[in-house]
Amino acid sequence: MGLENINVVGAIAGAVAAMAIGSLWYSPWLFAARWQALVGKSDEELGNPMAAMAVAGLMFVLMGAGMSWIIPNDATIGIGMMWGFIGFWGFALPATVVNGVFERRPWSLMAIYLGYLLVSMLVMAAVITFLGG
């Protein structure tokens, strides 16, 4: 399996989906206030989020490219989502927890991060699979 297996359109569409989920996840309707309290930052300290969102978008395109590389082109959406879960379980979950425990972050903060990553990775995998793996 070479790099020709990467579905660029799927990777970009999956990244857009992950960013849309993040816009809701970290909105005042869901976890914005709790997240901000747990990271201990004021609105002034956080400033304009556009640069951070640009970096996040780029990282999600890279994540989508990696997912589209491992998801078989003929996979069903269920199989694609299985690969999204495996990516979460094997990479995102351990990396987030390792960083969080060394930074002495509260488990509730890690739960916000991990919930977002799990939902985003499952949706991203579904979008990529729908668009051809």
Chain segment 21-75, per-residue pLDDT in tens:
999 999 999 999 999 999 999 999 999 999 999 999 999 999 999 999 999 989 9
Average pLDDT of the segment spanning 2-7? 79
pLDDT at 5 > cutoff 90? no
pLDDT at 1 > cutoff 60? no
pLDDT over 70, % of the chain:
98
From first CA to last CA, the distance across the chain in angstroms is: 13
For residues 122 and 129, what is the distance between their CA atoms, to the nearest angstrom?
11
Q: Give the number of residues written for the chain.
A: 133
User: Predicted confidence band at 132 (pLDDT cuts at 50, 70, 90)?
Assistant: confident
pLDDT at 128: 96
pLDDT at 84: 97
pLDDT at 2 > cutoff 60? yes
pLDDT at 108: 97
CA atoms within 13 A on the CB side of 68: 26
Residues 70/83, Cβ–Cβ less than 8 Å = yes
Mean pLDDT of the chain: 95
pLDDT at 133 > cutoff 80? no
Residues 117/57, Cβ–Cβ less than 8 Å = no
Average pLDDT of the segment spanning 93-119? 97
**Angle of helix 107-130 relative to helix 8-25, nearest 10 degrees?**
150
Q: What is the pTM of this model?
A: 0.92
For residues 5 and 19, what is the distance between their CA atoms, to the nearest angstrom?
23
